[in-house]
Amino acid sequence: MICAFIAEHRARFGVAPICRVLSAHGVQIAPRTFYAWLARPPSKRALWDTAVTELLAGYYEPGEDGRRPPESLYGAGKMWAHLQRQNVPVARCTMERLMRVNGRRGVARRKKIRTTERDPAASRAPDLVDRQFRVAAPNVLLVADFTYVRLASGVFVYTAFVVDAYAGRVLGWECATSKHTAFVEAAIHQSVAVREREGNPLPGNTIHHSDAGSQYTSVHFGETLILSGMTPSIGSVGDAFDNALAETTIGLYKTEAIRDDSPFRRGPLARLGHVEQVTADWVHWYNTARLMHRLDRTPPAEYEAEYYAHHARRPAGHR
């Protein structure tokens, strides 16, 4: 808009000289026209844009403690859905426009480095999932995997996850300094305990799906699954599609919790305890607040609660 252009440059060149130059180039505008525009009260749209812009700044700019809320990870679509849940009636096109104008954007996932090391001597359970990760109820299918986290010293620690396929809720996790079998078993024990504590114990035929890493094909791990009421299922080695849901969850974890500019970080990850704190904070937010596209922008725990509010406790079989 011409008047906005004049307002931007008038301190340097003056209003009248700018108007003369513009008129000489075929853009007829008089100084009085500019001053009349300047004296007008802001429009309703301009006021609303200002209010939404300030609201977005509260999410995307660090606060007094130097940290941002987890929702700063969202792009325009999820931020729009988040504000709708907060009863802020902003239009999606307005959200996209203001985020674009102010350079706001969500984070993008990075490529995951494989941590699977197959034991060629170990026998493998069959693949009972065949890349079908959509199930009708909780406790039908759990998927598992682990990833590495590099500490500030350059040393690696590892984080294992167990995820319920129904809503993608993280049921169990464990951090450790080595990739031993007990490390992934601890995440299993935590998952069983969570379900029992909530009054939704595993029914005895839950499928546990993982890749063919040596931790998941060991005899002791198989015994742990059976004692926990699970049936083992193993995908192929090095094929992300055979364990896509676990891979996706780990990708979000690395992008949203571990990267240097994560809102969950309080500084360098110097020791295992720092990784555990970041992981605990992220898992809680992920389960209870993070909006999931495949769940119609509903958090996993809320989506599960809706299921139990409308269905019997015992889930149907895997589909």
* pLDDT, position 135: 93
| Strand partners for 145 | 161
Residue 58 has a CB neighbour count (10 Å cut-off) of 12
- 169-176 vs 206-210, strand pairing mode: unpaired
Mean pLDDT, residues 104-128 taken together: 64
Helix axes 219-227, 181-197, angle to 10 degrees: 10
Band of the pLDDT at 199, cuts 50, 70, 90?
very high
Measured between alpha carbons, how far is residue 254 from residues 159, 201, 250, 293, 297 in Å? 10, 30, 6, 18, 21
Band of the pLDDT at 315, cuts 50, 70, 90?
very low
Q: In what order do the strands lie in the sheet with 206-210?
A: 169-176, 156-164, 141-150, 206-210, 230-234
Sequence-ordered alpha helix ranges (H) in 14-73: 15-24, 31-39, 44-60
Q: In what helix (H) or strand (E) does residue 286 lie, and over which residues does it extend?
A: helix 272-288
Band of the pLDDT at 132, cuts 50, 70, 90?
confident
Model pLDDT for residues 10-52, shown as the tens digit of each residue: 999 999 999 999 999 888 899 989 888 888 877 888 889 999 9
147 CB-near residues (< 8 Å, 6+ apart): 112, 115, 158, 159, 250, 253, 254
| Strand partners for 101 | none
Mean pLDDT, residues 58-87 taken together: 92
Amino acid at 311: H
Q: Using CA atoms, how far apart are residues 292 and 98, in angstroms rounded to an integer?
A: 23
More confident residue, 110 or 172: 172
Contact 174, 156 (CB under 8 A): no
Amino acid at 102: N
Sign of CA dihedral 260, 63, 287, 168: negative
| Strand partners for 213 | 118
Position 3 pLDDT exceeds 50: yes
DSSP 208-250: EEE--BHHHHSHHHHHHHHHTTEEEEE--TT-GGGGHHHHHHH
Mean pLDDT of the chain: 88
Position 318 pLDDT exceeds 70: no
What architecture does CATH give domain 141-310? Answer: 2-Layer Sandwich (3.30)
Position 319 pLDDT exceeds 50: no
Model pLDDT for residues 156-171, shown as the tens digit of each residue: 999 999 999 999 999 9
**Does the reported pTM lie above 0.75?**
yes
Position 130 pLDDT exceeds 80: no
Q: What are phi and psi of 77, to 5 degrees?
A: -65, -50
Model pLDDT for residues 268-291, shown as the tens digit of each residue: 999 999 999 999 999 999 999 999
More confident residue, 316 or 156: 156
Amino acid at 26: G
Give the helix, strand, coil percentages of the chain, each rounded to 5.
50, 15, 40
Q: Using CA atoms, how far apart are residues 55 and 73, in angstroms rounded to an integer?
A: 15
List the structure tokens of 234: 């193993």
Q: What are phi and psi of 314, to 5 degrees?
A: -80, 120
Q: Using CA atoms, how far apart are residues 293 and 165, in angstroms rounded to an integer?
A: 14
* pLDDT, position 131: 75
Q: 3-class DSSP state for residue 308?
A: helix
Q: 3-class DSSP state for residue 169?
A: strand
* pLDDT, position 221: 87
Reference 246, options 195, 273, 207; nearest CA is: 207
Alpha-carbon Rg of the chain, whole angstroms?
26
Contact 319, 135 (CB under 8 A): yes
